[in-house]
Amino acid sequence: MNALLENWPSSAHKAPTTEISVVIPLYNEFEVITILHQRLTAVLAALEMSYELVLVDDGSRDGTPRAVSQLAAADPAVTAVFLSRNFGKEAALTAGLEHALGDAVIVMDADLQDPPELIPDMIRAWQEGADVVCMRRRSRAGESWLKRYSASRFYRLLNAISDVEIPPDTGDFRLLSRRAVEALRLLNERNRYMKGLFAWIGMPTVVIEYDRKPRAAGISKWDYLALFNLAFQGVTSFSVAPLRMAMGVGLLTALFGVLYTLWIVIKALVLGDPVQGFPSIISMMTILGGVQLLSIGLLGEYVGKTYYEAKQRPVYLVHDVVRRGKASSAMARSLSTNPVAKKGKVVCKV
């Protein structure tokens, strides 16, 4: 544990005054932003702890950036981080975690599906010693049965084949201690399946159950295709089981091929049945071709992932940060191992 702690980047950047940070990724969330700010402020002010709201604008195309700027100008507790374009929720979350200064960092969605009123319970669990407080959905109001069913199947599948235990029905809504945040920052992969990364770091974890609310306003940014993609990313980022499965299918097909050939030979020699079989050749060829292409595609997925990792591009680019009402210089921040970036120098203006 000590060796691990030594490896963690120093927390020298941490202002001693911030106890709680709430990190929220925002993509086209103009409708909810005011009510979100009101409800969060009501909960956090009652805690009598110092806090900041880290609002990450993930390249929104509606009025979100303007609303975030106005909030940051009016409320010194708001830290606004503007990404240079839409990098996706996982990258926006990473940006938020990197800019958060709190001793405990709470991650939540903007749409109030994760009720801010649960924050005091999360903080209590953290004060009692938990490094990670996961929020587990007991119910998911406002979501179709298909979404609920596919989500629950997906978590079961992922846990069955992946290398880490990902608690079922937990989203990104959670609290992380400073130690947990620093540990997460060590994971510098480009392919960021956050739920998997959260689980990978381990650490003393407490699970609290809650009822998931429908969206307060606006629409979900995820259609079924995007969700399928996320699930596929989850599986291929945390397991090579699909590759092994492809091997298994190949083995079974080959075995079937050998037995079938034997059967044809016996039929020809013993029963004197001449070889016919144009239809069987065609069906075998299409089945085999399909299995082969599928396996190559799967292999390609893993090779492609390696390709993206090898490029070592930053996970996101920030074009502006407003903290305590003041804008800081535009800086490319990334999880990259680039030593220049680590020292906090300006590597790239956006």
The footprint of Mg ion (CB under 5 A) covers: 109, 111, 113
Whole-Å CA distances, 348 to 90, 318, 331: 22, 10, 6
Beta-strand relationship, 104-107 and 170-177: antiparallel
| 136 close to 56: Cβ distance less than 8 angstroms | no
* Residue whose CB is less far from ligand UDP, 107 or 332: 107
Partner whose binding site includes residue 112, from ligand UDP, Mg ion, none (CB under 5 to 8 Å by kind): none
* Residue whose CB is less far from ligand UDP, 98 or 109: 109
* Residue whose CB is less far from ligand UDP, 32 or 133: 32
| 169 close to 147: Cβ distance less than 8 angstroms | no
Q: How far is the CB of 26 from ligand UDP (least distance, A)?
A: 5
Q: Partners of 139 in the beta sheet?
A: 211
* Residue whose CB is less far from ligand UDP, 138 or 324: 138
Partner whose binding site includes residue 92, from Mg ion, ligand UDP, none (CB under 5 to 8 Å by kind): ligand UDP
Q: How many CB atoms within 10 Å of residue 47?
A: 13
Distance CA 301, CA 310 (A): 14
Concatenating the DSSP letter of every residue in 150-203 gives HHHHHHHHHHHHSSS---TTEEEEEEEEHHHHHHHHT---SS--HHHHHHHT--
Strand order in the sheet with 20-26: 205-212, 132-140, 170-177, 104-107, 20-26, 51-57, 78-83, 318-323, 326-328
Distance CA 199, CA 196 (A): 5
Q: How far is the CB of 45 from Mg ion (least distance, A)?
A: 25
Partner whose binding site includes residue 69, from ligand UDP, Mg ion, none (CB under 5 to 8 Å by kind): none
Q: How far is the CB of 22 from Mg ion (least distance, A)?
A: 16
Partner whose binding site includes residue 88, from ligand UDP, Mg ion, none (CB under 5 to 8 Å by kind): ligand UDP
Q: Which distant-in-sequence residues (6+ apart) come within 8 Å of 60 by Cβ?
A: 26, 27, 28, 29, 30, 86
* Local structure of 43: helix, strand or coil: helix
Q: How far is the CB of 220 from ligand UDP (least distance, A)?
A: 3
Cα 30 versus chain centre, distance: 23
Q: How far is the CB of 222 from Mg ion (least distance, A)?
A: 8
* Residue whose CB is less far from ligand UDP, 36 or 125: 36
* Residue whose CB is less far from ligand UDP, 70 or 220: 220
Q: How far is the CB of 224 from ligand UDP (least distance, A)?
A: 11
Angle 303-286-293 from CA coordinates, rounded to 5°: 5
Partner whose binding site includes residue 116, from Mg ion, ligand UDP, none (CB under 5 to 8 Å by kind): none
* Residue whose CB is less far from ligand UDP, 92 or 331: 92
The kind and range of the H/E element at 349 are none
* Residue whose CB is less far from ligand UDP, 178 or 215: 215
Q: How far is the CB of 254 from ligand UDP (least distance, A)?
A: 42
Partner whose binding site includes residue 89, from ligand UDP, Mg ion, none (CB under 5 to 8 Å by kind): ligand UDP
Residues near ligand UDP (CB under 6 A): 25-27, 29, 58, 86, 88-89, 92, 109-111, 113, 220-222
Q: How far is the CB of 52 from ligand UDP (least distance, A)?
A: 17
Partner whose binding site includes residue 110, from Mg ion, ligand UDP, none (CB under 5 to 8 Å by kind): ligand UDP
The first and second tokens of residue 29, run together, are 């969330």
